[in-house]
A and B are shown apart, each in its own frame.
Chain A
Amino acid sequence: MILIVIDHADGAPRKSAYELVSLGRALTGDDGSLTALVAGDAPGAVAQEIARFVPRVLTVSAPELAPPRAETMTRAVAHAATTLGAEAVLVGASRFGLSYSPRVAMRLGAPLLEDVTALERDGDGYVAKRLSYLARVTETVAASAPTVVVSVKPGAAAAADPAASAGEVTELEVPFEPDDVRVGVASRRAATKGRVALEDADVVVAGGRGFGSAETFDDLVVGLADALGAGVGSTRAVVDAGWRPYGEQIGQTGKTVAPRLYLALAVSGAVQHLSGMNRSKVIVAVNKDADAPIFRVADYGIVGDVLEVVPALQEAVAGLD
């Protein structure tokens, strides 16, 4: 039995949830044992949506999960895995998933396959691919144990199509303990309100220091992103300059994205930045320096000044439909 944990926000599953469904189906051979866990203070709508895709959906509904914390999720997921006798627990490798999945592994005494880009059965166990050394090395890692915990990098599988018939939704009681809520959540601040979340974006427009100022960055990078319905990304240089929030930084110390299309505008292409985007399907680079390292990973490049090229791109995109 494979348990997939559904990452959700604003009453809907995140894109990665549908990717876990695909992986889960492949691993169970679609034998009807795939089970999804939806945990939250009001998981109903998300559970109904996911039931269109998987035969069995468990909901955990508890005030302890609003807002979700690493320790409450650990309790819920570990309890579900133990109760159901899960052979594998698949978690989306969002920042939150990466925060609680190691705790789940430790609590279950299970090995952890972390942030994997591919996952297959291997005898009684599993074999996975994952990136290391700032995403320059691909590791093949295997784990064999009664339960294996796996965090799955967004984009590791194609999103699933709905199943022929809807699955069954049942509720699971979880015995939360006082320590699970010992961490107090004083406040939360959304950084990308109204804009498509970077991790879920099919297209990412990223800008670097070459824009020269926050105003120019807003006009050109954010302007082009809005025209494309894309997420906005930044380099560390941009974030350090205070032009954009940390939450938009892509790279080793920021987020990892693998969109269908990544536009790197006035981005030099330092290894720490590349490690966060080098798995994008198609990469475009615009840079005035023909020798900038970003061109080495680019599918299409324009050697030129972003102050001229980006407005031209905005115009060309506006003329698309």
Chain B
Amino acid sequence: MKIVTILKQVPDAEARVRASGGTLDLSGATLVIDGMDEYGVEEALRIRERGMETEIVALACGPERAAEAIRTALAMGVDRAVHVVSDVTLDAVAMARVLAGVVQDEAPELVFVGGKQADWDSSALGPALAEALGWPHADWTTELTFEDGTITVTHDIDDGTETLTLPLPAVVTTQQGLNEPRYPTLPNIMKAKRKTLEARPLADVAAAAGAPADRATELRASEIEARSRRNVVLDGDAKTAATELVRRLRDEAKVL
């Protein structure tokens, strides 16, 4: 079994994001491996630990600094990694085209992708990658088991959950509930320093994949979302405050 886990480096959720002049300023923000991607790394490790001989390859596309997030995956236990070094901030469709080339070369049975990237707020990478590869996909996966040549997954849908069986190879997008990702131990952090982290320039990878080395869409501006809110605090005991709230929701905000 060979598994590719795709990951992204994103600002820590608690990090302050700032924007000025229509561009985002991430300087000073702590950057980490996307929490959503850790579930895929963890799941791959657990598949191996259950006794299936498994090679696990981490794959990321991002600037030089993304290597730090890749090191986290290596320290968790991934065997080796490929880093497509890009200073262009690709969108999901463009990145899927580029990564599909690397996945094709690696020829794994299974690809894990984080369910929704915390920087893009996008869940498109997994399905777009699956389509580029001509493979099936399952998204928002909370349970995964193997049976000769197929996987069975439980995943969230709009009105509940669904259990699917997919032939391999397949793309699976991961989320909370699938497992509890481990923290790298100090010995494993040391060991990770000796693992192979192959850096390849975006232009080369894109050319080999026959994909454009640029976005499919144009990002014109990024601004901080600020909504003005009334911020009214209602005083009094519970009954007084509750009655006043319901009155205001009906008469003032007109939402009841």
Q: Which residues of A contact B (CB under 8 A)?
A: 9, 67, 70-71, 74, 94-96, 98-103, 105-107, 110-115, 127, 130-144, 179, 182-192, 197, 199, 203, 228, 236, 245-247, 252-253, 260-261, 271-272, 275, 278-279, 281-284, 290, 295-305, 308-309, 311-313, 315-317, 320
> What mask results when residues 169 to 213 of chain B are scored 1 for a CB within 8 Å of chain A, else 0?
000000111000000000000000000000000000000000000
Complex contact B217–A111 (CB within 8 A): yes
Please classify the interface of chain B as helix (H, G, I), strand (E, B), loop, or mixed, using the class held by over half of its residues: mixed
* Residues of A contacting B46 in the complex (Cβ-Cβ under 8 angstroms): none
Complex Cα spacing A311 to B229, Å: 26
Complex contact B238–A309 (CB within 8 A): yes
Complex contact B221–A140 (CB within 8 A): yes
Complex Cα spacing A71 to B221, Å: 33
Complex contact A252–B127 (CB within 8 A): no
The number of chain B residues touching the other chain, given as a range, is 35 or more
* Residues of B contacting A110 in the complex (Cβ-Cβ under 8 angstroms): 216
Tell me if B50 is interfacial: C-beta within 8 Å of chain A. no
Complex contact A102–B24 (CB within 8 A): no
Complex Cα spacing A111 to B1, Å: 33
B123's closest neighbor in chain A, by CB? A98
> What mask results when residues 214 to 256 of chain B are scored 1 for a CB within 8 Å of chain A, else 0?
0011111111110101111110001101110110111001011
Tell me if B162 is interfacial: C-beta within 8 Å of chain A. yes
* Residues of B contacting A131 in the complex (Cβ-Cβ under 8 angstroms): 121, 225
Complex contact B93–A112 (CB within 8 A): yes
Tell me if B119 is interfacial: C-beta within 8 Å of chain A. yes
A43–chain B nearest beta-carbon distance, Å: 18
Complex contact A137–B225 (CB within 8 A): yes
A144's closest neighbor in chain B, by CB? B218
A251's closest neighbor in chain B, by CB? B176
Known: A271-B14, A304-B241. Is A141-B230 also a contact (CB below 8 A)? no
Complex Cα spacing A69 to B195, Å: 40
